[in-house]
Amino acid sequence: MTGKSIGLQLRRNGFKLTPQRRAIIDVISGSEEHLTPSDIYSRLQHKYPGIGLVTVYRTLELLENSGLLCEVHIGDTCRSYLKRKRPGEHHHHLVCAGCGKVVDFVDCELGDLENRLTSETGFSIDSHLLEFMGRCASCRKLVSK
Amino acid sequence: MTGKSIGLQLRRNGFKLTPQRRAIIDVISGSEEHLTPSDIYSRLQHKYPGIGLVTVYRTLELLENSGLLCEVHIGDTCRSYLKRKRPGEHHHHLVCAGCGKVVDFVDCELGDLENRLTSETGFSIDSHLLEFMGRCASCRKLVSK
DNA sequence: GGCTCAATTGAAAATGATTTTCATTTATAA
DNA sequence: TTATAAATGAAAATCATTTTCAATTGAGCC
Ligand SMILES: [Zn+2]
Ligand SMILES: [Zn+2]
Ligand SMILES: [Zn+2]
Ligand SMILES: [Zn+2]
């Protein structure tokens, strides 16, 4: 999903497409890394100065409610976001602890485990959270130098 | 692992076993639910009033560094804790969205997926985060009434 | 049982992240 | 172009967490 199509999707949902929102979408779309609100805020200062941190928070909330963002739970902050490449599609993340780069994967194959847990515990299961943490090839090179 | 043995473990590691720490361990040990720092703080007020929230934070940090606690990432707060039943043993959690009750399971069987991701992406993988979210039997009854 | 001392505690202040408030501006549809 | 509801930004408010520091205390030692 491109930055432009994210903007169009917002409009289709009845929201205004302001320059601030374009800029924020632009920053998120142009990053392979997961970004916190203040990461996004500081990246904005270069290309689009003057946008308030409040607007970043509000836009993130809007994009998230519209299903256009992914969350990453890695590390300590639970508040780090990423463009959702294919909205609606079930997937998970492999995250680099060095640079924050995120790779998606769709085959989690947790169905059997889920069924067994359901019958063993009496819980009904609604969803799951799965993330792998590691180091991407280029971050590994840096360390070994 | 009992509350008492958690206390002993702390002493073995060279820390003092104060009444405040006993009380906090007691609260955590007596709960099947994951608890945030302020959850713990408010539960303390009944049985052991006067313990400061700062002490709760400090004790949680200590217990976590000693590997005696589990973290739950469910929901919005990344800061919710639980007694670690068998320190050192690899396991994951099934969490009730209604009451917060947590059930452990040890068989995650993510090795094959991990190997495939490693070779497909060039990442090295260090760890993973896996949690199932659902509703326990008694919370399901409440809803259906 | 008392003595000593570093570790621990709690109150208050400081910090940091997020949310709310509200007056002003602006994207969009007519 | 105009009207209008939505969106913005600055500042204040709120909430979670950490730091500071003086007073207290657990645990080893006599
Ligand atoms: Zn990397
Ligand atoms: Zn999955
Ligand atoms: Zn429940
Ligand atoms: Zn596992």
Residue B76 pLDDT class (50, 70, 90 cuts):
low
Residue B143 pLDDT class (50, 70, 90 cuts):
low
Tokens 């308030």 — which residue? Answer: A52
Percent of chain A scoring above 70 in pLDDT: 97
The two tokens of residue B62 are 């200590």
Strand D at less than 7 A from CB of B11: yes
Tell how far the Cα of A98 is from the centroid of ligand 1, in angstroms.
Answer: 5
Q: Give the integer Cα–Cα distance in Å for B30 and B2.
A: 9
- pTM for this structure? 0.91
Q: Tell me the per-residue pLDDT of A86-112, one tens digit each, with 9 for 90 and over.
A: 998 999 999 999 999 999 999 999 999
Instruction: Find the ligand nearest to B109 CA.
Output: 4
The DSSP-derived string for chain A is --HHHHHHHHHHTT----HHHHHHHHHHHT-SB-B-HHHHHHHHHHHSTT--HHHHHHHHHHHHHTT-EEEE--SS-S-EEEE-SSTT---EEEEETTT-BEEEE-----HHHHHHHHHHH--EEEEEEEEEEEE-HHHHHHHH-
Looking at the predicted structure, is the pLDDT value of residue A74 above 80?
A: no
Where exactly are the structural domains of chain B?
1-86, 90-145
In the predicted model, what is the mean pLDDT of residues A58-68?
Answer: 96
Residue in chain B lying closest to A108 (CA): B113
Q: Which CATH number is A90-145's, of 1.10.10.10, 3.40.50.2000, 3.20.10.10, 3.30.1490.190?
A: 3.30.1490.190
Strand C at less than 7 A from CB of B78: no
Per-residue pLDDT, B144? 65
Per-residue pLDDT, A78? 79
Looking at the predicted structure, is the pLDDT value of residue B74 above 80?
A: no
In the predicted model, what is the mean pLDDT of residues B48-56?
Answer: 95
Q: Tell me the per-residue pLDDT of B89-122, one tens digit each, with 9 for 90 and over.
A: 999 999 999 999 999 999 999 999 999 999 999 9
Report, at the CATH architecture level, how domain B1-86 is classified: Orthogonal Bundle (1.10)
